[in-house]
């Protein structure tokens, strides 16, 4: 019951996302009266849920690298703070970015928990927000000019044009909703992925992983938000920034959908990387920003620039700037209250150590350190980095030393109970390998992984194994780490 209460913040954030940005894909269509609101809301809900469950995992990895929230009570407050920030902006009728809200909240948690914020990852995320805005404007401008040229060469009746435009808005709206679910579900439930309380669930030949179950719940919450509270924001985006015709609405939706897919498609990302081509990072981008970028692209590509409402645009831009700052401050304050007033553990303390075992592990990765000078325990990563910087290690080496030196105690006890819990999930060989390690203790995550791989080859990566097999093994390993971890 406590776990469900903690997950409720993700559901509230999903509702806020649906209320504020879930309808952005359809805002221009609804505001031009080409599609009824209820029709748009129904189609959007279906395809957002499909996008979240089928393609939602790609963008969630990047948020995990920015800050890995390691206690479910902390994750609850991080998401709740982001949700309240978005809700407040929604009340002000501003199409705020949920991506910026969750990033701000994660940074607030990092400060409170004494964790480092990876500024390389943060820079990649911020750059993606700017890049996606520009790309949406460029795509929209190109599509708009092509459409004008195409329409000038055709003789189509007004009635037929309206019919074709309406069909296009529905088809592209469905595609955009799928992309929205795939890209933005990480904002709603990504923080809970490392500490998911769910196991895999099978429905005949279909199987939903623990992450997919989280994303399914988040997708449903987004759908509820669309139906109950998104109409006002649809009208703000579609009418108050610049006046749109039904044809320009079609261009906005198309440009927004394309950009969201570029930042959400893991298969496209892997294809480009494997062929030595540059690829966009898998990052949650703001659908609000994409819509505004597309509208600006259209407005600046011709005479429509005079219709741009700079006052409204300025208010929206100020909301984008303030959102992560407000979210970080609210998160810090709320974490303090949750920990000190309600006596909840909001983060797990992480210590570090350097000894002969750690030095040997580093040496195998071609990193030599002076154990005599560095040996000892460090209460947090800031203290360790302060010492390491005195020895002129570069950032990559410091990151690797921190990764190997992180203390994460695992005690393999009561494996019979573990067997009963995973009997329908783990294979007999996997369970037996765990039981053979009864009463062993490990100080580091990599030590436990090495021990598992020595006990049974089933835990080793295989050459040319299917991606699905690799993912299934990693999910089981993550469950083992979480199950046998000793809370410090």
Q: What are the pLDDT digits (tens) for 64-112? A: 778 888 888 999 999 999 988 887 876 776 667 888 999 999 999 999 9
Residue 376's pLDDT band (boundaries 50, 70, 90)?
very high
CA 171/CA 186 separation, integer angstroms: 24
Tell me if 350 sits within 8 A of 381, measured CB to CB.
yes
Percent of the chain at pLDDT above 90?
A: 38
The pLDDT assigned to 44 comes to: 92
Please check whether residue 120 lies inside any domain of the structure: yes
At 273, list the tokens. 């990387």
At 189, list the tokens. 């439930």
pLDDT digit string, tens, across residues 383-406? 898 899 888 898 889 989 999 999
Closest CA to 109 of 149, 78, 145, 153: 78
CB-based contacts of 127, cutoff 8 Å, min separation 6: none
At 175, list the tokens. 């595609």
Q: Return the residue matching tokens 């298969």.
A: 267
Tell me if 405 sits within 8 A of 352, measured CB to CB.
yes
The reply to whether 168 and 36 lie within a common domain is yes
| Better-predicted residue by pLDDT, 55 or 204 | 55
The pLDDT assigned to 407 comes to: 93
The reply to whether 128 and 141 lie within a common domain is yes
Number of domains in the chain: 3
Q: Return the residue matching tokens 């067997």.
A: 419
**Around Cβ 28, how many Cβ atoms within 10 Å?**
30
Mean pLDDT confidence for 363-371: 92
Q: Which domain holds residue 298?
A: 2-340
Helix axes 415-422, 467-484, angle to 10 degrees: 140
**Around Cβ 155, how many Cβ atoms within 10 Å?**
6
Bridge-partner residues for 411, per DSSP? 441
Tell me if 244 sits within 8 A of 235, measured CB to CB.
no
The reply to whether 279 and 374 lie within a common domain is no
Tell me if 353 sits within 8 A of 376, measured CB to CB.
yes
pLDDT digit string, tens, across residues 239-251? 554 556 777 878 8
The reply to whether 224 and 162 lie within a common domain is yes
CA 347/CA 345 separation, integer angstroms: 6
CA 460/CA 433 separation, integer angstroms: 12
The reply to whether 315 and 377 lie within a common domain is no
At 118, list the tokens. 């990876």
Please check whether residue 41 lies inside any domain of the structure: yes
Mean pLDDT confidence for 18-29: 73
The reply to whether 151 and 105 lie within a common domain is yes
DSSP string for 253-302: HHHHHHHHHHTT-HHHHHHHHHTT----------HHHHHHHHHHHHHHTS
| Better-predicted residue by pLDDT, 206 or 427 | 427
> Would the pLDDT of 237 be above 70?
no
Q: What is the largest CA-CA distance in the chain?
A: 84
DSSP string for 128-175: HHHHHHHHHHHHHHHHHHHHHHHHHH----HHHHHHHHHHHHHHHHHH
At 376, list the tokens. 């000892």
> Would the pLDDT of 340 be above 90?
yes
- Domain final position from 299, 318, 340: 340
Bridge-partner residues for 440, per DSSP? 412
Please check whether residue 274 lies inside any domain of the structure: yes
Q: Supply the pTM of this predicted model.
A: 0.81
């Amino acid at each position: 019951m406590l776990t469900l209460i903690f997950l409720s913040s993700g559901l509230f954030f999903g509702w806020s996302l649906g209320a504020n940005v879930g309808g952005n894909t359809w805002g221009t269509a609804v505001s031009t009266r080409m599609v009824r609101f209820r029709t748009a809301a129904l189609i959007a809900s279906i395809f957002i849920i499909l996008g979240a469950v089928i393609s939602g995992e790609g963008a969630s990895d990047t948020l995990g690298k920015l800050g890995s929230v390691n206690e479910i009570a902390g994750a609850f407050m991080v998401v709740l703070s982001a949700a309240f920030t978005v809700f407040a902006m929604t009340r002000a009728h501003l199409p705020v970015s949920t991506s910026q809200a969750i990033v701000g909240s994660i940074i607030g948690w990092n400060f409170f928990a004494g964790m480092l914020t990876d500024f390389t990852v943060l820079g990649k995320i911020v750059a993606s927000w700017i890049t996606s805005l520009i790309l949406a404007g460029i795509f929209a401008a190109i599509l708009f000019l092509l459409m004008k040229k195409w329409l000038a060469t055709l003789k189509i009746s007004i009635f037929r044009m309206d019919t074709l435009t309406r069909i296009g808005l529905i088809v592209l709206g469905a595609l955009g909703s799928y992309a929205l679910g795939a890209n933005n579900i990480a904002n709603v439930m990504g923080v809970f992925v490392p500490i998911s309380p769910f196991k895999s669930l099978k429905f005949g030949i279909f199987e939903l992983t623990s992450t997919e179950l989280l994303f399914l719940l988040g997708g449903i919450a987004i759908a509820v938000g669309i139906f109950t509270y998104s109409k006002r924001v649809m009208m703000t985006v579609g009418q108050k920034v610049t006046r749109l015709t039904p044809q320009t609405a079609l261009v906005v939706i198309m440009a927004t959908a394309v950009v969201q897919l570029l930042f959400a498609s893991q298969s496209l990302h892997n294809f480009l990387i494997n062929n030595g081509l540059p690829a966009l990072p898998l990052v949650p981008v703001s659908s609000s920003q994409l819509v505004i970028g597309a509208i600006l692209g259209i407005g600046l590509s011709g005479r429509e620039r005079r219709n741009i409402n700079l006052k409204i645009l300025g208010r929206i831009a100020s909301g984008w700037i303030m959102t992560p700052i407000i979210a970080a401050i609210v998160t810090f304050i709320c974490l303090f209250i949750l920990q000190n007033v309600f006596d909840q553990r909001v983060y797990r303390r992480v210590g570090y150590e350097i000894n002969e075992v750690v030095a040997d592990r580093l040496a195998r990765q071609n990193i030599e350190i002076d154990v005599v000078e560095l040996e000892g325990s460090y209460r947090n990563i800031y203290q360790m980095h302060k010492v390491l910087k005195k020895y002129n290690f570069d950032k990559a080496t410091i990151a690797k030393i921190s990764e190997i030196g992180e203390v994460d105690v695992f005690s393999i006890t009561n494996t019979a109970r573990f067997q009963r819990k995973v009997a329908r999930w783990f294979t007999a060989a996997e369970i037996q390998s765990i039981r053979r390690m009864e009463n062993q203790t490990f100080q580091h995550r990599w030590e436990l992984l090495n021990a598992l791989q020595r006990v049974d080859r089933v835990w080793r990566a295989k050459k040319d194994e299917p991606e699905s097999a690799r993912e299934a093994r990693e999910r089981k390993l993550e469950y083992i780490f979480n199950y046998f971890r000793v809370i410090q």
